[in-house]
Amino acid sequence: MVIGSLKTPGEVVTQRLVLFPAHPSLDAYTTASDQIDFRQLFLNSTIVTVVGATIKVLLALTTAYALVFVQFPFKRFIFAVILVALMVPAQVSLIPNYTLIAALGGVNTYWGIILPGLGTAFGTFLLRQQFLSLPKELVEAAEMDGAGHLTRLFRVIVPVSTPTIATVALVTVVNEWNDYLWPLVVTSSARMMTLPVGLTLLRNSEGDVSAYPVLMAGAVVVIVPVLILFAFLQRYIVAGLTQGAVR
């Protein structure tokens, strides 16, 4: 894709294989930036990703903590419901979510994009399994010292669960950044579109040969931040997913 974005249209659509461009050019990136406002789209994606991912991680932390360390009725049933949520495709709730958000005036707003996806069954499940593997003596000692639930969570549980929390955070950030379907449905203004949705503003007619390098250039802009994030923090993903696997 990166190589294709540096090619001319004739080198992308051709009957002979062209592995590398004869004269690499950034014209596709210039054309893409002329057609869509990458700065605004990048800002929208950043706001949605940072706010949405932060709330999701906090909700996953507090929910997982409650499911492990707080005694209340129907705890197992609630966890089973959370597991069922993992099996429900997001497309099933698309129309009900849009009806609700539209009725509340959330179309073409940041909160309208963020709100329906705040529940994170995956993060809750992964953190719960991690918390179950922790020695109960840690929490009991903090409780004996007079620490409340929030103190136990953020000063005892979180420091010893950093790899798993980092894994949940990274997966959540990537999902928020790459989310396409819901932002596409709930936004119609180019000023509120996220980067993946903004790519639809590029000319993508199959009959237009010159559109392919431009589309590839736009896709590179969307993917590069995620690749950089994974390159620097991939060890946390491996550690978090394997932590507690062997007991």
All domains in the chain, ordered by first residue: 38-201 (1.10.3720.10)
Look at residue 106 and tell me whether its pLDDT is greater than 80: yes
Look at residue 176 and tell me whether its pLDDT is greater than 70: yes
In three-state secondary structure terms, 189 is coil
Q: How confident is the model at residue 50 (pLDDT cuts 50, 70, 90)?
A: very high
User: What pLDDT does residue 237 have?
Assistant: 67
Q: What is the mean pLDDT of residues 97-115?
A: 95
Look at residue 12 and tell me whether its pLDDT is greater than 90: no
- How many percent of the chain have pLDDT more than 70? 92
Query: Please, what is the end-to-end C-alpha distance for the chain in angstroms?
Result: 43
Q: What is the pTM of this model?
A: 0.85
**CA distances from residue 138 to 13, 81, 160 in whole angstroms, order as listed:** 62, 28, 10
User: What pLDDT does residue 144 have?
Assistant: 86
User: What pLDDT does residue 127 have?
Assistant: 92
Residue 58 corresponds to which tokens in the numbers above?
A: 């906090």
User: What pLDDT does residue 59 have?
Assistant: 94
Residue-wise DSSP of 87-99: HS-GGGGHHHHHH
Kindly report, residue by residue over 67-83, the tens digit of the pLDDT.
999 988 999 999 999 88
Residue with tokens 């690499």: 24
Kindly state the DSSP code that residue 41 receives in the 8-state scheme: H
Residue 55 corresponds to which tokens in the numbers above?
A: 């709330």
Residue 128 corresponds to which tokens in the numbers above?
A: 């719960």
Look at residue 19 and tell me whether its pLDDT is greater than 90: no
Look at residue 243 and tell me whether its pLDDT is greater than 60: no
**What is the average pLDDT score of the chain?**
87
Kindly report, residue by residue over 22-45, the tens digit of the pLDDT.
888 888 899 888 888 989 999 999
**Which amino acid is present at 99?**
T
User: What pLDDT does residue 247 have?
Assistant: 47
Q: Show the DSSP H helices in the chain as ranges.
A: 2-5, 9-12, 27-35, 38-69, 75-87, 94-103, 110-114, 121-132, 136-144, 149-152, 158-160, 162-178, 181-186, 195-198, 211-242
Residue 64 corresponds to which tokens in the numbers above?
A: 């997982």
Kindly report, residue by residue over 117-140, the tens digit of the pLDDT.
888 888 999 999 999 988 888 888
Kindly report, residue by residue over 150-159, the tens digit of the pLDDT.
899 999 999 9
